[in-house]
Amino acid sequence: MAAYARAVNIEDLRRAARARLPRAIFDFFDGGAEDEVTLRANRAAFERVRLLPRALVDVAEVDAGVELLGAPARFPLAIAPRGAIGAGRPGADVALARAAKAFGVPYTLATPATASIEEVAREAGGALWFQLYVLRDAAFRERLIERAHAAGYTALLVTVDVPVGGKRERDTRNDFVAPFRPTWRNSRDFWRKPAWALDMLRHGVPRMENLAGCVEWSTRITDAAASVGRAQDASFNWDALKRVRDLWPGKLVVQGIARPDDAERVAAIGGDGVVVSNHGGRQLDGAAAALDALPGVARAVGARLAVLVDGGVRRGVDALKARALGAQGVLVGRAALYGVMAGGEPGARRALEILTGELERAMRLAGAPSLAAVTPDLLAPADRLAR
């Protein structure tokens, strides 16, 4: 039996992905910025939250269904955007999208994905959201918006926490930098992973398909990290965001919000939601954990905007905790990524099976037969008062 099929939790899938991938590729997906303080803090924030379960509630049947951005979802989660994932497994973007569709949750395609906007819509379907990086080439980014709308994507997530690329030191230590130059160290590591190497030989090294024609962004996988810094529009501001709002006819979500006042400005320009996020700890090291920032944002705009949170989700109970703290749902990034890296589409399904199974079990144990019953009074008093 494959390692992903034996996985009983997300950490098992992480180990399976690590065993299959070259270190440089695994660290590119797994790592954070600088000392990885914020990366660790994201997980620690979930682990600190304590629940006060209700007793003697009929939980023979539980309903984890929810509305996300005005559309029904079977669970309070969506797949977060992640670029260049074809570097770990060819076809990973489509595989993740298909797994999301099977579980009735949205999938978010990243701007630097290794499958095109049109390919994912054609080959996977389901509830599709598109993540927009704010590229300096305004005409190019506006064409991406047009393509996503034409292909039937229902929400646009504008990522605003990357004015420059974070300092990701694992990549530097692994010689995974741009321009990429093969070295004795990184080449040896690649060929010591035969399953991964065979996939690359058979399918070829994938490219970031949506960025073809963007002169400031290389489509080579090995240039991904450096391209983030080169191509981002560090001057992108609220007026530019208003322009995106005018162009996009669907749901508009701003990802990378940590402050209540910024969330209020998103509401003021006609946004539909925010993702409380620090980019998975990959940008500003020392930024607050996303879950710690969530309650303030939810109190400020929860009645006007959909509030989502990402970063550090590793257990199904994390979605329950996020709901109790004011989120509509969570975005799942690395947890799903480990699954698809370990086992392709079946591995991605295993990741979602683990998370959703844990969530339904946690709802029963907490005395919450539906998500409507996941309210702040499920939090232990110390957590309620502290937040």
- Which distant-in-sequence residues (6+ apart) come within 8 Å of 139 by Cβ? none
The H-or-E segment that residue 252 falls in is strand 251-257
Would residue 22 be called left, alpha or beta, if left means φ above 0 and alpha means ψ between -120 and 50 degrees?
beta
What is the CATH number assigned to the segment(s) 3-386? 3.20.20.70
Q: What tokens were used for 43? A: 């997980």
The whole-number pLDDT of residue 191 equals 81
Quote the pLDDT of residue 176.
Answer: 78
Per-residue model confidence as pLDDT tens for the chain (387 residues): 899 999 999 999 999 999 999 999 999 999 999 999 999 999 999 999 999 999 999 999 999 999 999 999 999 999 999 999 999 999 999 999 999 999 999 999 999 999 999 999 999 999 999 999 999 999 999 999 999 999 999 999 999 999 999 999 999 898 876 555 556 666 777 888 989 989 988 988 888 899 888 856 655 655 555 566 677 899 999 999 999 999 999 999 999 999 999 999 999 999 999 999 999 999 999 999 999 999 999 999 999 999 999 999 999 999 999 999 999 999 999 999 999 999 999 999 999 999 999 999 999 999 999 999 999 999 998 777 677
> Is 149 in the active site?
no
Cβ burial 116-152 (10 Å sphere, 16+ → b, else e): bbebbbeebebbbbbbbbbbbbeebbbebbebbbebe
Domain ranges (residues) in the chain:
3-386
**CA neighbours within 13 Å on the CB side: how many for 83?**
27
The model carries a pTM of 0.95
The pLDDT, as a whole number, for residue 382 is 77
Q: How far apart are the first and last CA of the chain?
A: 44
Q: Which of 279, 282, 314, 323 is catalytic?
A: 279
Handedness of CA 318, 320, 326, 332 (dihedral sign): positive
Residues 258 and 276 sit within 8 Å (Cβ to Cβ): yes
In the numeric block, which tokens belong to residue 17? 């992905």
What does the alpha-carbon distance between residue 196 and residue 230 come to, in Å, rounded to a whole number? Answer: 29
266 contacts 294 by C-beta, under 8 angstroms: no
